[in-house]
């Protein structure tokens, strides 16, 4: 069996303690260096990289806590372990606050020492692995290798070479804003502002003044003249999310902006020229809204010069495996915990689930599993009841429509949350207004 290349530095003013720790670790970790003071340790660390520093707490001159602070400031991926003969709860708490991974009071056995050293080194290696590995299929922040996603990449590249309006369609949680950002930052306008606007998040009565700005005295509370989102995006891109929820009056005003390339501030009769690109997105069927008289046909064609339809997660094949791996690494790193393994039977359940909340729902679920799972692997028992009980096995529900599956799923989530709509919307990966719309 090859010997470990892991390097460990022992810092203690006692020569006997340094030698005792070195002897215990040397059979397992041949690269073990020692220092008798913090100053000597700092000098040694400047000459080579260490995976783990083991330090005493109290030493003449600079203390172990000062060394901990130095390591945390300068060597992010180096583990820290403290040994001390002055063990107190307060000391342990303070050490942990400073960034010490393991705290071992003297006297200790060789087995106790080795167990904690192995534990801390494993955490360091996991952190290094998570930070160094980025999926090769990650492009524009969109992760996957399916043909459906490759087609999206091709359209993004074409759209970024023009300033034509773009309409992005797709279900909630599929990544419409990511696609918009990709187009903007690949385009000639990339150095100018990117301004995202969620049309449903702004009260209807305030939307015009927020989009186009207003002049002083235009209405009660208008104490100064203020630019709107369109002026803020000058030279760049404005992203109008949930465009299908605009009122007919606002649709008319937006159409005029596209045609005339100018806006009128609320309370002003003087137009202001704007040079911007408009990208809009919706999870609604705008053609149906046009047919129902709820969306202007002329505006629809103005917005839909280039159309990008983002496929739902359930139609992206094995992309879900890449996304699960990505979110596991991301949330494990964020929380500073070991990367859990997902069992095969758990993966099977995740793959057969229809994901009505799409990538956003998957992200939320994986974050929850990383926090709440028990043991070293994620088991089917760690999944929510509605996934675990096979309610959404596509092989046993071939006669059910997608709308019916989504409806049943939303009802189950509401039951699980005690009809808490905010929590249900979070689990579903959608906002409260979208949830209300689906319930209606």
Instruction: Give, for all 440 residues of the chain, the pLDDT tens digit.
Output: 345 678 999 999 999 999 999 999 988 998 999 999 999 999 999 888 899 999 988 888 888 888 888 888 888 778 888 887 765 555 555 666 666 777 788 788 889 899 989 888 877 775 565 444 444 456 788 888 888 999 999 999 999 999 999 999 999 999 999 999 999 999 999 999 999 999 988 988 889 989 998 888 878 777 888 888 999 999 999 999 999 999 999 999 999 999 999 999 988 888 999 999 999 999 999 999 999 999 999 999 999 999 999 999 999 988 888 899 889 988 988 888 888 888 878 888 898 899 999 999 999 999 999 998 877 789 888 998 888 765 444 444 444 555 666 777 787 777 767 677 777 777 776 777 778 777 77
Find residue 84's DSSP bridge partners: 105
Q: Cα–Cα distance between 138 and 144 in angstroms, integer?
A: 7
Looking at 200-356, which runs of residues are DSSP E strands? 213-214, 226-227, 237-241, 262-264, 271-273, 277-282, 306-309, 341-342
Domain 7-132, CATH: 3.40.50.2300
What is the reported pLDDT for 293?
94
Among residues 213, 244, 214, 248, which one has the least CA distance to residue 229?
Answer: 213
Output b/e per residue, 25-40; b: 16+ Cβ within 10 A: beeebebbbbbbbbee
Token duo for residue 121: 């080194």
Could you state, in order of their start, the residue ranges of all structural domains in the chain? 7-132, 138-309, 315-439
The topology (CATH level 3) of 138-309 is Rossmann fold (3.40.50)
Among residues 146, 142, 127, which one has the least CA distance to residue 330?
Answer: 127
Contacts 24+ apart (CB under 8 A), 106-110: 106/17, 108/83, 110/24
Say which DSSP state 382 is in: G
What is the reported pLDDT for 169?
96
Please count the residues of the chain. Answer: 440
Q: What does the radius of gyration of the chain's CA atoms come to, in whole angstroms?
A: 29
pTM metric for this prediction: 0.59
What is the reported pLDDT for 386?
84
Given this chain, do its domains 138-309 and 315-439 carry the same CATH topology?
no
Give the three-state DSSP class for 81: strand
What is the reported pLDDT for 104?
82
Looking at 213-358, which runs of residues are DSSP E strands? 213-214, 226-227, 237-241, 262-264, 271-273, 277-282, 306-309, 341-342
Residues 298, 302, 307, 313, CA torsion sign: negative
- The stretches of 213-247 forming alpha helices (DSSP H) are 229-232
Q: Cα–Cα distance between 131 and 77 in angstroms, integer?
A: 10
Token duo for residue 320: 């879900």
Q: Cα–Cα distance between 283 and 438 in angstroms, integer?
A: 12
Token duo for residue 63: 């203390």
CA torsion, ordered 435, 299, 229, 189, to nearest 10 deg = 110
What is the reported pLDDT for 224?
86
Tell me the CATH class for 315-439: mainly alpha
Find residue 277's DSSP bridge partners: 237
């Amino acid at each position: 069996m090859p010997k470990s290349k892991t390097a460990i530095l022992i810092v203690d003013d006692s020569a006997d303690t340094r030698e005792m720790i070195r002897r215990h670790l040397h059979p397992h970790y041949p690269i073990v260096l020692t220092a008798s003071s913090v100053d000597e340790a700092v000098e040694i660390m400047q000459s080579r990289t260490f995976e783990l520093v083991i330090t005493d707490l109290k030493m003449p001159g600079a203390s172990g806590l000062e060394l901990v602070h130095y390591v945390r400031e300068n060597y992010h991926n180096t583990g820290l372990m403290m040994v001390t003969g002055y063990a107190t709860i307060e000391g342990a708490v303070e050490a942990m606050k400073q960034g010490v991974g393991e705290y071992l009071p003297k006297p200790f056995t060789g087995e106790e020492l080795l167990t904690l050293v192995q534990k801390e080194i494993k955490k360091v290696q996991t952190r290094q692995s998570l930070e160094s590995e980025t999926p090769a299929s990650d492009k524009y922040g969109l992760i996957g290798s399916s043909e459906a996603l490759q087609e999206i990449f091709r359209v993004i590249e074409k759209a970024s070479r023009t300033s034509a309006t773009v309409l992005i369609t797709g279900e909630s949680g599929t990544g419409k804003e990511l696609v918009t950002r990709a187009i903007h930052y690949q385009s000639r306008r990339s150095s100018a502002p990117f301004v995202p606007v969620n049309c449903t998040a702004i009260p209807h009565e305030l939307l015009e003044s927020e989009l186009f700005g207003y002049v002083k005295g235009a209405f009660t509370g208008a104490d100064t003249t203020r630019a709107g989102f369109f002026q803020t995006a000058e030279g760049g891109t404005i992203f109008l999310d949930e465009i299908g929820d605009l009122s007919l009056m606002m649709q008319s005003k937006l159409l005029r902006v596209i045609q005339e390339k100018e806006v009128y501030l609320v309370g002003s009769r003087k137009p202001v020229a704007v040079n911007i690109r408009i990208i809009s997105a919706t999870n609604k069927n705008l053609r149906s809204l046009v047919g129902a008289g709820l969306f202007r046909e002329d505006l629809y064609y103005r917005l839909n010069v280039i159309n990008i339809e983002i496929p739902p997660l359930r139609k992206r094949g094995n992309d879900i495996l890449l996304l699960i791996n990505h979110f596991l690494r991301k949330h494990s790193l964020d929380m500073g915990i070991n990367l859990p393994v997902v069992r095969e039977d758990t993966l099977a359940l995740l793959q057969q689930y229809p994901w009505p909340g799409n990538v956003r729902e998957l992200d939320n679920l994986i974050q929850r599993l990383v926090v709440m799972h028990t043991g070293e692997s994620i088991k089917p028992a760690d999944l929510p009841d509605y996934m675990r009980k096979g309610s959404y096995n596509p092989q046993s529900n071939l006669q059910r429509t997608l709308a019916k599956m989504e409806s049943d799923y939303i009802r189950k989530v509401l039951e699980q949350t005690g009809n808490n709509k905010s929590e249900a919307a979070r689990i579903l990966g959608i906002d409260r207004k979208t949830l209300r719309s689906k319930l209606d």
